[in-house]
Amino acid sequence: MFEQLDKLLNQSYDEMVEIRRYLHQHPELSHHEVETPKYIADYHRTLGHHVREGVGERGVVATLKGGKPGPTVALRADFDALPMQDEKDVPYKSQVPGVTHACGHDGHTATLLVLAKILHSMQKDLEGTVVFIHQHAEELEPGGAKPMIEDGCLEGVDVIFGTHLWATEPLGKVQYTTGALMAAADHFEILVKGKGGHGAQPHHTKDSILLGAQLVQSLQQVVSRRVDPLDSVVLSIGSFVAQNAFNVIADSARIIGTVRTFDTKVQEHVIHEMDQIINGVASSFGAKATFKYSKGYPALINHKEEAVFVSEMASATPDITEVEHSNPQMGGEDFSYYLQHVKGAFFFTGARNPEWTEVYPHHHPKFDIDERAMLHAAKILGRLTITAFDRYK
């Protein structure tokens, strides 16, 4: 069946590119997707699949029942874009000002749609059911995965797989891990309240900027001195805003940032240590500080057996030149929620063109992919699906 799968996918590559470029020209922001889910649903209905729209708000779930009974395999692709201006000089440049697909979700959707078409053409030989999960709002909390799960997208699913086209790794390379692949992505906010005054009379004030600066510096002790060096933690300050007049000492300041962890115990320890430092530093200034911590997507933890399965199928896929058990990434992904409910794995499919002299990372205004990576991803996901029907009986 793999030869037939590859042949049909190769023949449909131009369609895959056409879909991806259409979606790239018509991006929609997280939680505001309207036309994209309609496009996806119409494509599946044309194939004759059972389709549910508005799943968990804006998601689409399509189901293909094979000619023979068997396990149910879910495949997931996200379809939201980012609030950025597309700065690429290409014919398929975004036509929506201030919105672009700068993370490859258009490619994920095109990959899954065409794979659905090919698997449908092989329907009578499939020994199970395929659930195509098209997810909205991966880029913006609370995300689309959790509400889609609550709305039943995983009902009856035995195993789930997903991939991310990874533009910083070369075409032909696949990365996976047998455990943590991506981190929990949390954010925090610190509101500092001191006492403002004239810049010429600092002794009559409680300088919130000085206090904030001390907090920025002191919080780095959490990672360097209060967490086991063997535990991976990132604590980054992303914004520090206060009064902007040159001769005014600000009475308040706002600091926001992110924390990335892989272990929930480490996560809780970091929160506790941050709270201790913030309260202690504020107290030493005779000021006040309010600490708000919001947990984002949990860490993405692959199931070991399914991750090894990914490596096996990737290694057997034409044009895949390297399969690497990689280090975890500190980025976040709400595919993690699916893995909390069913067995499965997530992996990276290299999408960097070997001839590009400059590579732009994800979330960059000039981000792009080598579209051949979509074909690689489809072939791997197809192999996983077909083989899983026998593997999970």
Supply the residues annotated as catalytic.
80, 138
288-297 and 300-301 beta bridge pairing: unpaired
Tokens of 128: 């199970």
Which stretch of DSSP H or E encloses residue 11?
helix 2-11
Please check whether residue 341 is in contact with residue 149, taking contact to mean a CB–CB distance below 8 angstroms.
yes
* Pairwise CA distance, residues 212 & 252, whole Å: 9
Across 262-379, where does the E strand assignment appear? 288-297, 300-301, 322-325, 343-352
Contact 19, 109 (CB under 8 A): yes
Measured N-to-C along each axis, helices 13-25 and 105-121 cross at an angle, to the nearest 10 degrees, of 140
- Give the Å distances, CA to CA, from 193 to 75, 172, 254, 326: 49, 53, 9, 44
Are the CB atoms for 174 and 322 separated by under 8 Å? yes
* Helix or strand holding residue 372 (H, E): helix 372-391
Dist CA 2 CA 386 (whole Å): 8
DSSP state of 242: E
Characterise 130 by phi-psi region: left (phi > 0), alpha (psi -120 to 50), beta (else). Answer: beta
Q: Does residue 25 come out as left (phi exceeding 0), alpha (psi in the -120 to 50 range) or beta?
A: alpha
Beta carbons of 332 and 297 less than 8 angstroms apart = yes
Residue 324 in 3-state DSSP? strand
Q: How far apart are CA 182 and CA 338, in angstroms?
A: 14
CA 326 from centroid of its chain's CA atoms = 17
- Whether residue 188 contacts residue 278, with contact meaning beta carbons closer than 8 Å, is answered with no
